[in-house]
Structure 1
Amino acid sequence: MSDAIETAVAALNEKMSGGFDAGIAKFVIEGEGSIMVDGNGARAGDEEADVTMTAEADTFQSMMEGDLNPTAAFMSGKLSVDGDMGLAMQLGAVLG
């Protein structure tokens, strides 16, 4: 697992404090790998998900640091969403 994925997993778990019970989401960080988010929290993995969100590493980091709103990232084309848009919006609200 890359350092970027390890750091992202830790940041997601801290932000979510206990998991995400609405479904299964996957973050794909281009060039680094992917992270699964579900009721157990975040972990490195590449499994089937209800929604897959893809972004470059710097975009993902900006979202984790609170410098970039996930909705703004999507609207500007920096974050792509494939699958359940409602679930993506719920996760975006959790991440802030």
Structure 2
Amino acid sequence: MDAAPTSPVLADILPRLQDALKTKSFDGSLKFDCGDSGVIVLADGTATATDQATDCTLKMSPDNLVKLLKGKLNPMTALAMGKIRISGNPAVAMKLSDLLKR
């Protein structure tokens, strides 16, 4: 059973990512870790709020996740400013831009 995100912000984002994955592929697995607000995991062609091990993890606040997904937060600048912390394989995170293109 899929867990529900704790944060209403993540609950709003999750179906949008699920829809995007219906028409675009994403190789590898990626976790958006928003601490106590919950996680969103992209893996196996879907998005879920169930925490699991992934190839790459991006730790950030829910607000910064919204900005990142809307293209209002530059990932490189956010990394340099400490707004995003990355662990695991950064090449997987680089593939995220292809998924988010409109």
TM bracket, shorter-chain basis: 0.7 to 0.9
Structure 2 unpaired stretches of 5+: none
Which residue in the other structure is 2:34 paired with?
29
Please state whether the residue corresponding to 1:61 is helix, strand or coil.
Answer: helix
User: Does the 8 Å contact 1:9/1:44 carry over to 2?
Assistant: yes
**Is the aligned partner of 1:52 residue 2:57?**
yes
TM-score by length of 2: 0.77
RMSD: 2.0
User: Does the 8 Å contact 2:10/2:62 carry over to 1?
Assistant: no
**Is the aligned partner of 1:8 residue 2:21?**
no
Mapped to 2, the partners of 1:48 and 1:76 lie a distance apart of 26
Letter in 2 for 1:74: L
Deviations 1:8-57 (A, max 9, x none): 21232344454543101111013201111023221111101011110011
Letter in 2 for 1:51: C
Which residue in the other structure is 2:81 paired with?
76
Letter in 2 for 1:94: L
TM-score by length of 1: 0.81
Letter in 1 for 2:36: G
Deviations 1:49-88 (A, max 9, x none): 0111100111111112221122332222111110001111
Q: Which has the larger radius of gyration?
A: 2
Mapped to 2, the partners of 1:83 and 1:13 lie a distance apart of 23
Mapped to 1, the partners of 2:97 and 2:84 lie a distance apart of 11
